[in-house]
Structure 1
Amino acid sequence: MKEKILWAPWRIGYIAGKKEKGCLFCRVKREKKKDKEDYLLFRGKYCLVILNTFPYNNGHLMIAPYRHIKEPSQLKEEEAIEFWRLLNLSIKILKKVLKPEAFNIGINLGRTAGAGFPGHLHLHLVPRWNGDTNFMPVIAKQKVISQSLDKL
């Protein structure tokens, strides 16, 4: 069987691109002038909401506290309240805007668990639609995203 080629130019930025030195979330916290470029959606008092620039699916976002901490148990009470409120608010907004059928919510604690930024706690919220997963993520470890971040 002849192999088909799938054009997904956005992936090369992640695969071959220059890796960010330091912590993405700490940099975004500091550099407010780059909010649009960073796809920052919301700045709270204790936490931020940002689109994942290498998403698993359309609307994949991350929620992180401003403080550089590793685990949920290290959140102060006021941070924890805002963290979980932002999750609920994000779900509500994504349901209205993108109309997903379901969500995956996940926190990877440590590099071995898959954390790209293992020193800074962050939560992934991934909208899901029936039939959105095919062989690509399983076999080729690649995902086809049908919508630009700029269009979201």
Structure 2
Amino acid sequence: MRDYDGTEYENVESLDGFAAVPDAFQRLWTPHRIAYIQSGQQPASDACPFCVAPSMTDEEALIVKRGEHAYVLLNLFPYNSGHLLVCPYRHVATYDEATTEEVAEIASLTQEAMRVLTATSNAQGYNIGMNQGQLAGAGIAEHLHQHIVPRWNHDSNFFPIIAGTKALPRLLGEVREEVANAWPA
């Protein structure tokens, strides 16, 4: 085989047709993650994304349900397919700053989200929680948001443990449409 500069190598397999050759590897195609990688894992602007999202179309912001005091959207950088966030419209940082009405609607939307995800993706369990404050792991510490992560038997494997990588089998737009369409009116 010859290299690009003309150097000849012996006992080296040709790369011609490599993509068509069956092997033991499975490919993980996660094209939506390129935005996260290219942005350096930082928001594109200083504006709070949870304050900006409601001014966008549901499709652009990945919103699946709008309530009176809070709304639900897909996590742009999900742990699993269907990873949702419930956010109050009001810009508050911590749970104790939320009003009684906001807390009640966040709870109600969380319950509805679980029902919708169970119906659309057969989720077998959930991780639900809030990281409040940067020190506690909040990626966006300035705006309260609750995570709803659907889980399935054997959804954790060596990728997140060893390689720090999560395989997501569906595109965000597909998941948003399915979840939004399944949400009760």
Tell me the equivalent position of 2:173.
150
Deviation string 1:95-126 (CA, Å, 9 cap, x unpaired) is 11111110011211111222111000000100
**Structure 1 151/8 Cα, relative in aligned 2: closer, same or farther at 3 Å?**
closer
Point out where structure 1 has 5 or more consecutive residues left out of the alignment: none
Tell me the equivalent position of 1:131.
154
State how 1:96-135 maps to structure 2 within 5 Å.
Answer: 96-135=119-158
Name the count of aligned residue pairs: 147
Identity of aligned residues (%): 40
SS in 1 for 2:154: coil
Matched, 1:15 2:37: yes
Tell me the equivalent position of 1:24.
49
CA distance in 1, matches of 2:96, 2:172: 32
Task: Compare 105-114 and 45-54 and name the one that shifted more.
Answer: 105-114
Matched letter for residue 44 of structure 2:
E
- Report the TM-score when normalising by structure 1: 0.89
**Structure 1 66/35 Cα, relative in aligned 2: closer, same or farther at 3 Å?**
same
Please say which structure displays the higher CA radius of gyration.
2
Point out where structure 2 has 5 or more consecutive residues left out of the alignment: 1-24, 176-185
Match of 1:86 among 109, 123, 126: 109
Q: CA deviation at 1:6?
A: 5.0
Task: Compare 66-75 and 9-18 and name the one that shifted more.
Answer: 9-18
CA distance in 1, matches of 2:163, 2:137: 17
- Report the TM-score when normalising by structure 2: 0.74
Kept in 1, the 8 Å contact 2:93–2:143? The answer is yes
CA RMSD of aligned residues (A): 1.7
